[in-house]
A and B are shown apart, each in its own frame.
Chain A
């Protein structure tokens, strides 16, 4: 690193990266915290609120987010009227978007940071975004497997308390 010119080093330090997050079977709140940290630039040691060091974040499969508990039935989003979270199909994008919007600092750069957040309902990302991506972030939640996804040997090897 020390053999680079100063201008090249500065360019590399302040460059804006593009992060990819797969939101399949993930809680939207945890996805939103990861997004918010990177949109503000708080993951960088050069962070300053006025310096505009935030990165781009692309969230794919946001149609397949998974709330924990009974939140699909109980959580209410309001916008002049109450909207049930399980009713409208196109609402899925709004869940993650509202979550990230609420986690960003309430100042004028919030709108710019939201413009750097890109949400997609499924896997298919446009060409130009695919070319820009630099890093994929690990998923916050380990996806549990269904019973029929376990093989017969694993099911027999699982310890039992009593035989019926």
Chain B
């Protein structure tokens, strides 16, 4: 008597389970606890990590902008101006320098930043003069009316 159904019971699992598991665990090696060793826990943690990484690409741009703004505010306060006043007067003077470049200037080119702050300060004083003064243009100025195209 020969057992013919024995060969039907052998299950041929995939040959590359090891590498599929390593694909996930290699992303989890720097985690804390059993999540860096055990596949079931690691799979969940790795998925969360990838989701956070996807969302963070937008948040990174926001964080960088707030960092630039706080650096520009600190540098402008060193020169006696506040950040809103600085930005508004730079825009009024049609200096279209973005916050990234301004913060880099504040760190590496302090004299250039000082000159920009002085320009903004002049615009601020001019605005105060126009608002509080008697409506006449200051002497020696051709025309204060600048229109942004």
Please give the residue numbers on chain A whose beta carbons come within 8 Å of chain B beta carbons, in ascending order.
42-48
Contacts and interface: CB of A to CB of B under 8 A. Distances in A.
Interface in B49-72: 67, 70-72
A44 B77 CA distance: 9
Contacts of A43: 74, 77-78
Interface string B126-138: 0000000000000
Contacts of B78: 43, 45
Interface residue range, chain B: 10 to 19
A42 B107 contact: no
B67 A45 contact: no
A36 to B, nearest CB: 14
Interface string B70-106: 1111110110000000000000000000000001001
Interface in B103-133: 103, 106-107
22 contacts: A42-B70, A42-B73, A42-B74, A43-B74, A43-B77, A43-B78, A44-B74, A45-B71, A45-B72, A45-B74, A45-B75, A45-B78, A45-B103, A45-B106, A45-B107, A46-B71, A46-B107, A47-B67, A47-B70, A47-B71, A47-B74, A48-B67
A8 to B, nearest CB: 16
Contacts of B103: 45
Contacts of B74: 42-45, 47
